[in-house]
Structure 1
């Protein structure tokens, strides 16, 4: 097996331990394994020639996320931001250990960590590519549950924040997603389309 195959299998094995599950196509899946697969598939669909570093970063974006639950931080804006910041470091460190075990160079591992920590967003093309994929996966698979939970104004705010994180190419791709009529209407309203 190649380094990439080993690293991928080990990332999958970690994510397969998620005690939280999500029903998709009538079957229960470990939540973070499902997310990891969606990220990787969306990346390869959106940018088939993505570097190996971005491919790994896409798979490991939420690696072992359940080990740092949101509830373990204060339930306010400051707590949320601290949780997000520490999560990125946790995901990067967990992935770095796997990549070292797979025999990748320090330089390669540092680059994957850089991407997972989403450094230089809007300035680094690969960080931006990863962010586009994160936003596309959110819009395709996780947007509808958000709509059920939040009021229209809050949703418009979430849509705008998501939209502003994406590149123009990512935004064009987002409009190809097969949204429900209501959700598409909400997106168009939020964006003033």
Structure 2
């Protein structure tokens, strides 16, 4: 049973993401890009771990909240710029979500926990941070790997896949191998992992 604060927070997160000026077409339907990502994250979480806490559920929905407001191009286009952008994004997503949760009536302890998760603190050590990371990686592999395949050379792709795989738990790995990859992408994954 969903609580009133959860339903309100979810609706407000969706409303923020619905304002994304960037669109993505999926199965002949056009969606605001970050709203589609948020829906995919939430659905994947609930399939992968139906007993996930309310904090993880909100963190999954808000993972990329309003991401378009902080474009990659506004940072230096090098490794240092990329890492700074990623770090600032986590704080931005965390703060944007915290404001919504406060408005929804959540207490500071709950809000701090959601912020902790969105900022992916203690990865590999905190069970819920790891769960969220698994879901992020699963969503990437299922829905966003294919566009990457057309943009990068094989070695870079293998490197991306390996980094993604290394962030996941054993349970995440098992789930990833159930994804219906194209034969080419599945071969690429096997090559990257040395299978």
Name structure 2 gaps, 5 residues minimum: none
SS at 2:180 equivalent: coil
Q: Distance in 2 between matches of 1:72 and 1:154?
A: 23
Please report how far the alpha carbon of residue 171 of structure 1 lies from its aligned counterpart in structure 2 after TM superposition: 0.6
Provide the rounded CA distance (Å) in 2 between the counterparts of 1:20 and 1:92: 21
In the TM superposition, what is the alpha-carbon distance from 1:27 to its structure 2 partner?
A: 1.1
- The answer to whether the aligner puts 1:81 opposite 2:96 as a matched pair is no
CA distance in 1, matches of 2:150, 2:68: 23
Question: Within 1, Cα distance between the matches of 2:106 and 2:161?
Answer: 37
Q: TM-score, normalised by structure 2?
A: 0.98
Task: Show the counterpart of 1:152.
Answer: 154
Whole-angstrom distance in 1 between the partners of 2:173 and 2:14? 29
CA distance, structure 1, for counterparts of residue 156 and residue 116 of structure 2: 31
Aligned residues: 193
Q: How does 1:103-182 map to 2 (within 5 A)?
A: 103-182=105-184
Q: Provide the aligned C-alpha RMSD in A.
A: 0.6
Q: Tell me the residue number matched to 2:20.
A: 18
**Deviation of residue 76 (structure 1)?**
0.5
Quote the Cα distance in structure 1 between the aligned partners of 2:191 and 2:74: 36
1:139-191: CA deviations, max 9, x gaps?
00000000111111111000100000000000110000000000000100111
Moved over 2 A (4+): none
